Amino acid sequence: MNHLLIAPILIPLLGGIIQVFIGYAPISLRRTLALATTVLLLASTFALLVLANDGSYRVYAFGNWAPPFGIVLVLDRLAALMLVMTAILAFFSHLYAIHRTDESSRQFHALFLFQLMGLNIAFLTGDLFNLFVAFEVLLIASYGLLMQGPGTKRTVPSLHYVVLNLTGSALFLISVGMIYSVTGTLNMADLAAKVPQVSAENLPLLQAGGLMLLVVFGLKAAILPLCFWLPRAYGNATAPVAALFAVMTKVGFYAIVRVFTLIFGSGAGALANLGLDWLFAFALATLTMGVIGALGARNLRTLIAWQVIISVGTLLAAVGLGTEEGTSAALFYMLNTTWIVGGLFLVVDLIAAQRGSAVDRIVTAPRMHNRTLLSVLFLIGAVAAIGLPPLSGFFAKLLILQSTTPGAEMAWLWSVLIGGSFFTLIAYSRAGSIVFWRTVDGHVSSTDRLSLPVTVAAGGLVSMAIVIVLLAGPISAYVDATAAQLFNTSEYLNVLNLPVIAEGL
């Protein structure tokens, strides 16, 4: 039992508690401590990535209660990948938040760190009910974060977001209850072992529970019929919050991948590959909807928010293929899209601050003060998001296209993905050329000059598009190994047999 496994939960928890108590301390102290917490978290997740890279499962049993009776944390390649991705995104968002966002509220850093704690619990947990608790922790922090910032424009989107997620939580509890009533367990490894043995009369109950879980995770991931809350909520959130929320939809994606390959995967007997064909169709519809939304966006933030939905559709379409190659390609694309979308939210905020009353609307305005730097950052972000060569988005989409086998699925995926990319290109070109090229004479009286931290934060996230290309070899080797580990579900069942007594306590 390795105690390092709990570090990504404890570090933001302790850092957040400190922030709660020092709300009236000088802001420089709060900023230093908060950023130190995030850096420490980043270091611990990299340590876990190195640990997980040997391909074995590591288990942390709370209170030394053996699974399936106690709650366990399970570290595997997928969990480590999600942790590192979140920590890098969180570091840059946090760096950006220190610019000005955190002045509006004394609890900003505490909420931000609790949000990270909730995310990390969700990625590490090996228990379905604990996943529910993690969702609630990250959601209640996100409710607070969404309300950050001046003005009243966030109230209504927040209200919709809260009500929708509370209803989603109710559905989650109902499906968890259904699954428990049939299998008598909520430990994921134990569920994977027991689901194939469920008797025929109980099967419909389990099937209903499983499909309701898909609805709940679909709400978190924002797939088509459940995605209309997202553009308004993300479009109105302050930039670092919106950037961090780029990972929120990936929690839903992660939960779908975890539950529907492990518990309802190919080894689930009568319920094998439950919901997979639904997922593929809905994912393509989501992708189309996202592209339509991006084409119709009237301001840059909304455009990026629709990009989140496009990426969810692309990710789930690749996972919906139900193959190892598809999942591997989806994980590669996920790294690209999460960082780039987060970076674009930050860049757009910098652009908005230099355009006076035009803010981020796609209209002509006086030229920006730092137009060269900002336009290059926007160009890199847009090229990576659309998937044009030579940046990471191109390779990610290429991997997804390559993962299909000839047939109806291939025809659908290729046509929707390539057509969607083309129209996304039009949306970004239109927005970029109006904002950067069609400028009018005159100048904006009070512009925000770029400071070093915000430039580093926005530039750092966007330049991940180049980093991913440079490290494409190791990253694709890692995601291939992750997908292989995911699909070899029988290995996961060993979680139940691992000795939990800590040696040399």
Nearest-CA neighbor of 333 among 218, 472, 486, 216?
472
Task: Give the shortest CB-461-to-other proteins separation in angstroms.
Answer: 30
CA angle 425, 429, 431 (to 5 degrees): 120
Where helices occur in 22-154 by DSSP H, the ranges are 27-52, 77-97, 108-124, 128-146
Task: Give the shortest CB-147-to-other proteins separation in angstroms.
Answer: 8
Query: Between the CA of residue 256 and those of 332, 361, 404, what are the distances in Å?
Result: 16, 35, 20
Question: For residues 42 and 162, which CB has a smaller minimum distance to other proteins in the complex?
Answer: 162
Position 45: which residue type?
T
Task: Give the shortest CB-212-to-other proteins separation in angstroms.
Answer: 12
Question: For residues 227 and 416, which CB has a smaller minimum distance to other proteins in the complex?
Answer: 227
Question: For residues 160 and 367, which CB has a smaller minimum distance to other proteins in the complex?
Answer: 160
Question: For residues 126 and 267, which CB has a smaller minimum distance to other proteins in the complex?
Answer: 126
Q: Judging by beta carbons within 10 Å of its beta carbon (0-12, 13-18, 19+), is residue 405 exposed, middle or buried? A: exposed
| 469, two tokens | 């290309």
Listing DSSP states for 264-331 in one string gives SSTTSGGGTTTTHHHHHHHHHHHHHHHHHHHHH-SBHHHHHHHHHHHHHHHHHHHHHT-SHHHHHHHH
Yes or no: say if 498 and 57 are a contact pair by the CB < 8 Å rule: yes
For residue 238, the surrounding DSSP H or E stretch is none
- Positions touching other proteins (CB under 8 A) are 129, 133, 136, 140, 143, 147, 152, 155-156, 158-160, 162-163, 166-167, 169-170, 173-174, 176-178, 180-181, 186
Question: For residues 118 and 265, which CB has a smaller minimum distance to other proteins in the complex?
Answer: 118
Task: Give the shortest CB-494-to-other proteins separation in angstroms.
Answer: 23
Question: For residues 181 and 494, which CB has a smaller minimum distance to other proteins in the complex?
Answer: 181
Task: Give the shortest CB-206-to-other proteins separation in angstroms.
Answer: 12
With both helix axes pointing from N to C terminus, report the angle between 276-296 and 248-262 in degrees, rounded to the nearest 10. 160
Residue showing tokens 């049993």:
61
Question: For residues 13 and 176, which CB has a smaller minimum distance to other proteins in the complex?
Answer: 176
Question: For residues 127 and 324, which CB has a smaller minimum distance to other proteins in the complex?
Answer: 127
Task: Give the shortest CB-155-to-other proteins separation in angstroms.
Answer: 5
Question: For residues 181 and 415, which CB has a smaller minimum distance to other proteins in the complex?
Answer: 181
Q: How far apart are CA 457 and CA 89, in angstroms?
A: 9
Question: For residues 136 and 491, which CB has a smaller minimum distance to other proteins in the complex?
Answer: 136
Task: Give the shortest CB-152-to-other proteins separation in angstroms.
Answer: 4
Three-state DSSP class for residue 92:
helix
Q: How far apart are CA 8 and CA 126, in angstroms?
A: 15
Task: Give the shortest CB-181-to-other proteins separation in angstroms.
Answer: 4
Q: How far apart are CA 59 and CA 61, in angstroms?
A: 6
Yes or no: say if 502 and 64 are a contact pair by the CB < 8 Å rule: yes
| 496, two tokens | 């139940």
Task: Give the shortest CB-73-to-other proteins separation in angstroms.
Answer: 17
Q: Is the preceding omega at residue 68 within 30 degrees of 0, hence cis?
A: yes
| 120, two tokens | 């990390």
Task: Give the shortest CB-25-to-other proteins separation in angstroms.
Answer: 26
